[in-house]
Amino acid sequence: MAQKSPIQSIDPDHPQPRHIARAVAILEAGGLVAYPTDTYYAIGCDLFQKKAIEKLARLKRRDEKKPFAFLCADLSEVSKYAMVGNEQYRLLKRLLPGPYTMVLPATRLVPCTALTRQRTVGIRVPAAPVALALVNALGRPLATTSAALPDEEPLIDASDIQDQLGHGIELILDGGSILNEPSTVLDLTGPAPVVLREGKGTLEGVLS
């Protein structure tokens, strides 16, 4: 029987540094960590560790060539990995941190495992203290995906994540139950923003 991953309770608003440090040590070693975000629970790994990306793809039962979105700590880090024009920057500044995934043209710093065929990336800066603490402490982006099996709803409770996905995760940071609501996905690669998926987060003023 596969060993289940440990669950560590964490304050979702003021995450304890020792718990973040434990999670980051796992990420640096190529492991996977589940954590709460502002949309739902996610599973993440170091964006620059190819084997960790492959492990995450196997756990999710998805094509290893399909890139994951990734988390950045702030707009400054976003601009390192995505080409952001003045209009896009103004929009990002208004919406982030928040429950949005932004599709943008990639810079050369993005590893090939995170690139689409169109050389774009999906980037998030969540309004979620635990997720931001992980990215800041790691010092580089975090590949991220929903804590869910294919064609199933994302899991909203740490114990459910442990039961269904715990065999492939080294640590689950338990920030309490989270309502199941995806991020809004905005394509910012063209002259005007295009909504690819409506989810959590207002769209008021985005398309005007």
All structural domains of the chain: 7-197 (3.90.870.10)
Kindly list the distances between the CA atom of residue 205 and the CA atoms of 1, 138, 180, 193, 194, in Å, as whole numbers in the listed order: 52, 34, 25, 11, 12
Confidence category of residue 90, pLDDT binned at 50, 70, 90: very high
Residue 64 has pLDDT above 80, yes or no: no
C-alpha R_g of the chain:
16
Distance CA(80)–CA(176), nearest Å, equals: 33
Is the predicted pLDDT of residue 1 greater than 80, yes or no?
no
Predicted confidence (pLDDT) at residue 98 exceeds the cutoff of 70:
yes
Q: How confident is the model at residue 208 (pLDDT cuts 50, 70, 90)?
A: low
3-state helix, strand, coil split of the chain in percent (to 5) is 30, 25, 45
Confidence at 182, pLDDT banded by 50, 70, 90 = confident
Mean pLDDT over 169-197 rounds to: 90
CA angle 80, 86, 87 (to 5 degrees): 120
Q: Give the whole-number percent of the chain exceeding pLDDT 70.
A: 96
